[in-house]
Amino acid sequence: MAERTLKRRLFLGALSALMWAPLLYGGYGALSGIRRCSWAEGAEDALARIGNVYLAEFPEEAAPGKLGALLAGVPSLAAGFRSDAAALARSAFTEACARELRCGDTVLCDGWLLARSEARLCGLIALQVAERGVSDAALRSG
- Taking the complex as a whole, the smallest distance from the CB of residue 34 to another protein amounts, in Å, to 8
How many angstroms separate the CA atoms of 122 and 56, rounded? 12
Instruction: Check residue 4 for interaction with another protein (CB under 8 A).
Output: no
First to last CA, the chain: 30
Q: Applying CB under 8 A, which part among 22-30, 58-66, 71-79, 126-134 lies near another protein?
A: 22-30
Instruction: Check residue 141 for interaction with another protein (CB under 8 A).
Output: no
Instruction: Check residue 74 for interaction with another protein (CB under 8 A).
Output: no
Instruction: Indicate the residue among 1 and 98 with the shorter CB distance to another protein.
Output: 98
Report the residue from 30, 78, 87, 134 that binds another protein according to the rule CB under 8 A.
30
Q: Applying CB under 8 A, which part among 2-10, 74-82, 110-118, 133-141 lies near another protein?
A: 110-118
120 in Cβ contact with 71 (< 8 Å): yes
Give me the helices (H) in the chain, please: 3-27, 43-57, 64-72, 75-81, 86-102, 116-141
- Taking the complex as a whole, the smallest distance from the CB of residue 123 to another protein amounts, in Å, to 16
How many angstroms separate the CA atoms of 44 and 24, rounded? 10
- Taking the complex as a whole, the smallest distance from the CB of residue 32 to another protein amounts, in Å, to 6
CB atoms within 10 A of CB 51: 29
